Amino acid sequence: MESLIDLFITIEPSITRGFIFGFVHVFLIIIGYYFGISLNRFLKIISNGAIAGIIGAALAHILADLIASIIDPSIRPMTLGIVSGGLIPLLLIPIFEKYITKSANHIMVGDHEDIEKDLQEKHN
């Protein structure tokens, strides 16, 4: 008996190519969020909190990309390119930190205030 995913992929391969990758990638990110799996906690021990958040988010996506690309047979041949393409931009972080000045209105500043306000409000 064919699995639902096999049946879905055989319907129209050009439309569904990458479906497994997309599903697994987003599913892993959601699971990490709900179960509190965070690279940021570890990275905050060894670095600045903002940098830890940036690197943690990027590494979480790279890890999800790796797992998803290994699982999806239509994407599997591209695994090395996907992972290396995700890792290389991390090399730019020290350059951005040194040369890009964040203003007082930088999104991270506003986000912290919004999150704090949301946590204090009573939700239905």
Report d(CA 22, CA 30) in Å as an integer.
Answer: 12
List Cβ<8 Å contacts ≥24 apart for 7-10. Answer: 9/74
**pLDDT tens figures, 47-86:** 556 677 777 788 888 999 999 999 998 899 999 999 999 9
Q: What is the pLDDT of residue 117?
A: 64
Per cent of the chain over pLDDT 90 is 21
Decide which of 75 and 115 is more confident.
75
Q: What is the pLDDT of residue 66?
A: 95
Q: What is the mean pLDDT of the chain?
A: 75
Per cent of the chain over pLDDT 70 is 56
Query: What number is the average pLDDT over the span 26-52?
Result: 71
Report d(CA 59, CA 42) in Å as an integer.
Answer: 12
Q: Which DSSP string corresponds to 27-58? A: HHHHHHHHTT--HHHHHHHHS-HHHHHHHHHH
Count CB neighbours of 21 within 10 A: 24
Tell me the whole-structure pTM to 2 decimals. 0.64
Percent helix, strand, coil in the chain, to 5, is 80, 0, 20
Q: What is the pLDDT of residue 48?
A: 57
Q: How far is CA 2 from CA 23, 43, 89, in A?
A: 19, 43, 40
